[in-house]
Structure 1
């Protein structure tokens, strides 16, 4: 049983890597895609922004709609959609077609990721669930930060078509592995749509959503401009910046492993401590940002915290609505995407108005507000328990 669960979680992790890499992998090859389709880089950017928009829109609804269907069948459906759309992307020379081929699977993206978290948590005991979910999060981190340089390398070394084929290859491997190794997983207790949506009536749910938006803003509102920060404030070369981004990504994966242990031991203390620790790291970065070695050390710690933060976000929402895990995971995905989008825009305003080094203020302000929502939720939870007695 333990070996089967380990294999299941591994397949889910690689599956999530394939899904996230399809979304994020094109970031490193946008200029090449612009040349390939004879369009501007800003137009090529639609391949990323429209994908993210589709994920944000479908986050709460698609996992809800498919929540009563056999888990294995739903996984195969999503992987099949991604596989077919990636194959279309390999062979088409029309940008409109490739854009459509990107947006359609984006609507299915939250279904697989939500299921991966839910199935991983359900495959182990309640106490071990955060550790299982943290392993799946390694796929999220890898898809976001490891997949980008891999795809960029393939595009530069071989061709754009082979880079797009990498997406299809990963999805195909997971599709086959799911058919062979993943058991049928019928939904034993089907929840009505109404009973799942009712979690939105709880103040704890909304406080959790607000906290996740703000916590994700705190991380990615600053990380979105890390390369610019390293270039203008730290005065690093292009090669050094690439190494720093890889350092951040690798430490992010370490953070996922650490997060599982922290949330298993004492979740509330870990969540409360997070804004203080990350805020301290940002203050140090602001003070030493012009020095390369201290900045590299801070980036390593920041990357670990970013990995921990992703796990905290998922846990915070799922623990507020454990009676509707699929819907809650969908809310998590939408909240995280909203946080990234909104504060990336805010970061741009701070940079244009005050200077690149002050983008850190976006992170610090987000952390202050996130701490307020975290404490309010803990207070509400404690008050509800006391009242129930």
Structure 2
């Protein structure tokens, strides 16, 4: 494993911890600032909104920058946001700190995915992406429980100070281990997203080319799968506390280790998804989404039994995160010549799914339905993602998704002209495919 992947995983660990630890500290933060718990919940929704805004903005700003320097700048922004949160004198400043930290989230994972994929051979890209995301999944097993415990035993401010320290460690790791890249040597896409040179060695990727990626039908389908599939997970997880206490009969103090169990499932699913996505991406994705939909539907019944609920919770984490490496690699494959913006926006799509699912889950609960009703919402969202995956696979098989801006470029399953002038199907020849983000 390249050591640069370790640096990216450390940064991902810090980002994952600060995103999710607020869920366990809402009562303490609310009491400290004298606001209600629902008001304190804006710290979670504000973070999600910041991710959605920051993902495209910083991806565009960094399109002509060295990816290493951009990653370092993003970690600096993350550190600043957490320090602001740690010393915030009033709730508004705390909210501002959360938003500042969140602005780095999407672009870091988006650009980090490109860098991770460029560090390894083409047939190991999904595995490399999954190793970076292992930092995010481990944050739910280690960072969030310990951060919650630290905040409850001392002060929530120490939790955010500790997360800022993790950011410093990630910044130093990126500075020391991630290889330099020259943005002037990236492929220069045309308005249709194609590489001008045909060699993938020269030119500069511009904003126009980055935006052209969104004319690719397969890219849009992949992002739709991201929103709906991961939204299915968070329709259930957002309301896990009342489900586990009112449904399964757990004590409130048990929710922390139950979330750690969910995180353990995320770790396993992420690694399995990365391993098998390199072998058969779309079959892996369809299998994971099918299993996720079935498990979420099953959770409606198992949530009333302690042991069955715990097992099902771990499976939701596993099947849900098994979709992450294939979805991220799918976007990178479809935007090989201009991946930065699309990769970052796809990370924002995960958060859009979180927010959408939390809102829909809240609607069914406010309607007076049982505490397990959000699981049905999650199952329907996962089934919708599966329908998009099947559509994507059928379009690719029939060849209707390639051969033009509306359907996508060479990676979209259409026909592409190689450097030697011959026409090839599906992907460019190996000799003209250079790992995106690799060091020069």
TM-score, length of structure 2 as denominator length: 0.82
> How far apart are 1:86 and its partner, in Å?
2.6
Q: How does 1:170-189 map to 2 (within 5 A)?
A: 170-187=166-183, 188-189=185-186
Q: How does 1:331-342 map to 2 (within 5 A)?
A: 331-342=345-356
| Alpha-carbon contact 1:33-1:160 (below 8 Å) kept | yes
| Alpha-carbon contact 1:26-1:151 (below 8 Å) kept | no
Aligned to 2:135: 139
- Structure 2 residue 11 is matched with structure 1 residue 15: yes
Identify unmatched segments of 5+ residues in structure 1.
none
For the residues of structure 1 that align with 2:105 and 2:258, how far apart are their CA atoms? 29
Corresponding residue to 1:260 among 274, 277, 284: 274
> How far apart are 1:145 and its partner, in Å?
5.2
Deviation per residue, 1:246-300 (Å, 9 max, x gap): 2111121111111111101211111121222122223333333322222222222
Give the structure with the higher percent helix.
1
| Alpha-carbon contact 2:10-2:169 (below 8 Å) kept | no
Corresponding residue to 2:147 among 140, 148, 151: 151
- Structure 2 residue 233 is matched with structure 1 residue 219: yes
Corresponding residue to 1:295 among 302, 309, 313: 309
For the residues of structure 2 that align with 1:239 and 1:155, how far apart are their CA atoms? 14
Identify unmatched segments of 5+ residues in structure 2.
187-203, 403-412, 416-424, 426-440
Change (3 A) 1:343 1:242: same
Give the count of matched residue pairs: 385
RMSD of aligned C-alpha atoms?
2.1
Corresponding residue to 2:96 among 100, 119, 127: 100
TM-score, length of structure 1 as denominator length: 0.92
> How far apart are 1:85 and its partner, in Å?
3.0
For the residues of structure 2 that align with 1:163 and 1:30, how far apart are their CA atoms? 13
For the residues of structure 2 that align with 1:153 and 1:387, how far apart are their CA atoms? 52
For the residues of structure 1 that align with 2:236 and 2:300, how far apart are their CA atoms? 12
Corresponding residue to 1:49 among 45, 51, 62: 45
Change (3 A) 1:39 1:364: closer
Structure of higher RCO (CA pairs closer than 8 Å, 6+ residues apart): 1
- Structure 2 residue 136 is matched with structure 1 residue 129: no
Deviation per residue, 1:88-121 (Å, 9 max, x gap): 3333423333322322232232221212111011
Corresponding residue to 2:212 among 190, 198, 219: 198
Change (3 A) 1:98 1:262: same
Aligned to 1:372: 387
Change (3 A) 1:280 1:38: closer
Change (3 A) 1:205 1:113: same
